Amino acid sequence: MSKLIPLIKELISTPGVSGFETEIAQLIVSKIENYVDEVKVDRLGNVLAQVKGKGAARVLVDAHMDEVGLVVKAIDDKGFIRFEVLGGIDNRVLPAQRVIIHTRKGKIKGSIGIIPPHFTTGKERDKVIPAENLFIDIGASSREEAMEAGVRVVDPITLDRGLDELLGSRICGKAFDDRIGCLVAIESIKRLKDQKIAADLLYSFTVEEERGLRGATVSAYSLKPEIAFPVDTTGAADFPGVKPYTTTIELGKGPVIRAVDVRFVSDRQPREMLIETAEKMGIPYQLAVAMGSTDGAAVQLAREGVATCPLCVPLRYTHSPVEIVDLKDIENTIKLLTETLKSVT
């Protein structure tokens, strides 16, 4: 078993839906506080840390803590929970999922109900059910029973999925976007401990990326970086049903240097730093024009501008409960990030 798996399990099992990142922030602080010179949680909930170097440059590593999920919107007369989606979760994957409602009184498990085929027509079964028509069954028989158990409007809800080891070096689970990026950042902090680094290293573990890059907008302004490497996952398209040339990203082919996406064009300096380091160290990598976006789009525009290039781990089935990554890609991403940070002069 990879030495990374225990930490991955811990990261994905700790709740942190967008806007409700307190628990995952506390976990990350506990993992890095003995390896950094400074760490704090800002007013928005971002975890900000610094490792002092020789002042050659201020280099930021960013990873968002939040995961896509749900939030309680209403409790009906019969105790069924209505919810709103937080982040770009796919409505197609929601019916029949197990979930956890995180209440003041503790965790309450439930299932997203689904009308059985016996009660539906063929046309109805072929339609995607909108989130507003779905509900969570926690076993309650009334609104009063659900509320007595602790459920209230605005309680966050996570999908109830753990980690499964697949064939070879691949693993499956939820919230890999972007707990894998958090893992990469944490591991880089640990591996650079007691090494003489020219740059001052800044780390931000941000909130609400899935709701509009909100945490990164604040953290990048606060930390004043000159160069930034946001670490995230990025969608691979190496499986059936995806149109050819949607993207060239594949699992197992190494970290992705995200040159362009729908909101962002990377800067030449950090992009070339990553490429040169990868080629010098013999680390496989992929250059990509990617779908979606990352915290990089916000970081790049902070203050007078930040030279920014995201570094990503390839991921299948983004924003689903069955995301898949390759441990070799994760390890190579950690190595590429760490060696690049060491190279800053």
Are 144 and 267 found together in one domain? no
What pLDDT is stored for residue 1 in this prediction? 65
Sort strands 200-206 and 156-159 into parallel, antiparallel or unpaired: unpaired
Exposed e or buried b for every residue in 202-211, given b needs 16+ CB within 10 A? bbbbbbbbbb
Distances (CA, A) of 277 to 70, 332, 336: 40, 12, 7
Q: Catalytic positions, please?
A: 209
What pLDDT is stored for residue 136 in this prediction? 98
**50-60: per-residue pLDDT in tens?**
999 998 899 99
At residue 68, what is the residue type? V
Q: Is the dihedral of CA 204, 207, 212, 218 positive or negative?
A: negative
Give the C-alpha separation, 315 to 150, whole Å.
36
Domain that holds residue 88: 70-159
With a CB cutoff of 8 Å and minimum separation 6, the contacts of 37 are: 50, 51, 52
At residue 188, what is the residue type? S
Q: Is residue 260 part of a domain?
A: yes
pLDDT at 119 over 80: no
Are 63 and 80 found together in one domain? no
pLDDT band at 28; cut points 50, 70, 90: very high
Give the C-alpha separation, 315 to 252, whole Å.
10
| Predicted TM-score (pTM) of this structure | 0.94
Are 90 and 135 found together in one domain? yes
Are 57 and 141 found together in one domain? no
Cβ pair 66, 17 in contact under 8 A: yes
Q: What CATH number does residue 252 fall under? A: 3.40.630.10
Are 184 and 294 found together in one domain? yes
Give the C-alpha separation, 211 to 300, whole Å.
18
Domain count, the chain: 2
Are 232 and 285 found together in one domain? yes
Partner residues linked to 17 by β-bridges: 67
Q: What CATH number does residue 106 fall under? A: 2.40.30.40
pLDDT at 291 over 80: no
Question: Using omega within 30 degrees of 0 as the cis cutoff, is the peptide bond preceding 194 cis?
Answer: no
Are 292 and 183 found together in one domain? yes
Query: What is the distance in angstroms between the CA of the first residue and the CA of the last residue of the chain?
Result: 36
What mean pLDDT value characterizes the chain?
A: 94
Sort strands 106-112 and 136-137 into parallel, antiparallel or unpaired: antiparallel
What pLDDT is stored for residue 167 in this prediction? 97
pLDDT at 33 over 70: yes
Are 261 and 223 found together in one domain? yes
What pLDDT is stored for residue 258 in this prediction? 92
Give the C-alpha separation, 73 to 132, whole Å.
10
Q: Is residue 167 part of a domain?
A: no
pLDDT band at 46; cut points 50, 70, 90: very high
pLDDT at 101 over 90: yes
